[in-house]
Structure 1
């Protein structure tokens, strides 16, 4: 079960998420309470183990700017969390091996997400960043062959139920493990990752339980 902890704003939280077993950490470059500067992200990412996927999160930014900021920040992956077109997404995917295209629940584009040139997609609440739960059944609109990451309103208490219902490839959380905007709660973080990993669907369990090498390829 792929677990991404998003909205990281400081090195302590990044290292804590890694120590607790997170597979990825996300840094928000779009306007947000959790927005962080590229240079600060670079200072954090160079301290993280290579098996951790570092993700820069953008919203409605032009591809050239996405690529420039992500390169400066030293992240391995990019998450496009706005109304980016398939063409814009493919431009970014031509530069970054790992691209996550986010869609709001109920988005008309979700059923054709396989036209965006990436195999990793994220389904979020209609109001991203709100921390509100939505109808998880809407995940059924996503193309079945894609790696679906579920986000929006997840907490340590409901993540196992969400995984059981949706059977996603991964989960993503920001507000659900915070003690205040931009600051993680260590206990909530630990419980979320533990509960998510324990609830992993059988199809995502394999013989190789070691860390994935995101630098491969």
Structure 2
């Protein structure tokens, strides 16, 4: 299982997340977010992490140039796009950023057309991605094939195994994302 913890704002939380098994850490660059981190601070933390930990910048409705610039400036390894980015913009970012995740709402048109984005994985979330709300995992049925899914949305120690089983039974690769 792949576990990603988002909302990292300090080195202590980053190291604790790794110690308890996180494979990836998310740094939030979304304006207005309570967990937004300064670019310089994210770079300082990322530089001190083990090289096998995937570091991910979280963005929402930013121009591709900003996403690429922030990822390069901070030394992060991936970008996670939480807005209404077009497939064209996601593909543009993918040309410059090694790993790109695209967040979509389960059951949405973007979910059913997820392959069009060309992302490395699709983060499947509730109607309001990034808000920590559980969605009806049945909505992931009849979704895109040939796309790796990252399960998100209100995951807790009590419900995460059920969510993983539900999505895996659909014949898709499943990963987990949790807010910090």
TM-score category, normalised to shorter length = over 0.9
The correspondence for 1:173, drawn from 169, 175, 178, is 178
Match of 2:108 in 1: 107
Q: Is the Cα contact below 8 Å between 2:82 and 2:130 reproduced in 1? A: no
TM-score normalized by the length of structure 1: 0.78
Unaligned 5+ segments in structure 2 are none
Per-residue CA distance 1:9-61 (angstroms, 9 max, x = gap)? 11111111111111100011012011101100000001111111000000000
Deviation at 1:71, TM superposition (A): 1.2
Match of 2:96 in 1: 95
Unaligned 5+ segments in structure 1 are 175-183, 185-217
Per-residue CA distance 1:92-132 (angstroms, 9 max, x = gap)? 00001200011012221111111112231101111223322
Separation (CA, whole Å) in 1 of partners of 2:28 and 2:142:
26
Please show how residues 25-44 of structure 1 align to structure 2 within 5 Å. 25-31=25-31, 32-44=33-45
RMSD after superposition = 1.2
Pairing 1:125–2:126 present: yes
Per-residue CA distance 1:65-96 (angstroms, 9 max, x = gap)? 11111111210000011000010000100001
Match of 2:82 in 1: 81
Match of 2:56 in 1: 55
Deviation at 1:141, TM superposition (A): 4.1
Match of 1:147 in 2: 148
Separation (CA, whole Å) in 2 of partners of 1:97 and 1:131:
26
Separation (CA, whole Å) in 1 of partners of 2:89 and 2:134:
29
User: Of the two structures, which has the highest relative contact order with CA contacts closer than 8 Å and spacing of 6 or more?
Assistant: 1
Structure 1 counterpart SS, 2:15: helix
Separation (CA, whole Å) in 2 of partners of 1:171 and 1:34:
19
